Amino acid sequence: MSKKRVCVFASSSNFLDEIYYEEVGELGYLLAKADFDFVYGGSNLGLMWTCAKAAKLEGAKIYGVMPEKLFNILGPESSEICDELHVTETMRTRKAKLDEISDAVVAVAGGFGTLEELSEMIVQKQLGYNSKPIVILNTNGFYDKLLEFFENMMSEHFANKSCSDLYYVAGTPQEAVDYLLSYRAVERVIDKDAIYKR
């Protein structure tokens, strides 16, 4: 039986506070120790690289997914860590491939790309296209304001309150991995009320 694969959405910035690199390094290490393989954006930059490298050092198989435009900019050496690399035509097809080959998602600190990836996965789960665990690793309170925004969306009925069950907020890498290990998908009834009720 093949190992389960965890997709990590993460920043590609090399200019962050050290606490973020430390925590994603620990996350990569713990994912591999828990016998997960690793899926990510495929480059040797930022938090995504730190996390992938830590997972690789502990024996995880690394799957990278990169759009052709970035692959041409960064060069093939940027993905040398990958055991398997998928080069996609666009960012949209990249997201679809990340989704296709992963069994779970962890969003760590990141920019607009990470936010887009996280939001799409939440909506996919809301509409019943997947039942994967979705974890938000809230290092250093990075996602506090976003989570507050989510709560405001629900309280003002732009999203129904059940949406808070679609994702899990972890304070530490260990908490994130523990959640993934204990996760059991709950069959959700996807009907008009489930999506549009108040």
- 72: pLDDT confidence band, cut at 50, 70 and 90? very high
- Say yes or no to pLDDT of 3 above 80: yes
Task: State the pTM of this model.
Answer: 0.95
Parallel, antiparallel, or unpaired for β 104-107 and 84-88?
A: unpaired
Looking at domain 5-144+163-188, its CATH class is: alpha beta
Distance CA 134, CA 53 (A): 22
- Say yes or no to pLDDT of 43 above 80: yes
Phi-psi map region of 82: left, alpha, beta (phi>0 left; psi -120 to 50 alpha): beta
Residue type for 166, please?
L
Is residue 102 within 8 Å of 130, Cβ to Cβ?
no
Round the average pLDDT of the chain to a whole number and report it: 95
pLDDT tens readout for residues 134-171:
999 999 999 999 999 999 999 999 998 889 999 999 99
Distance CA 150, CA 138 (A): 14
pLDDT tens readout for residues 85-116:
999 999 999 999 999 999 999 999 999 999 99
pLDDT at position 1 is 53
3-state secondary structure (DSSP) of residue 42: coil
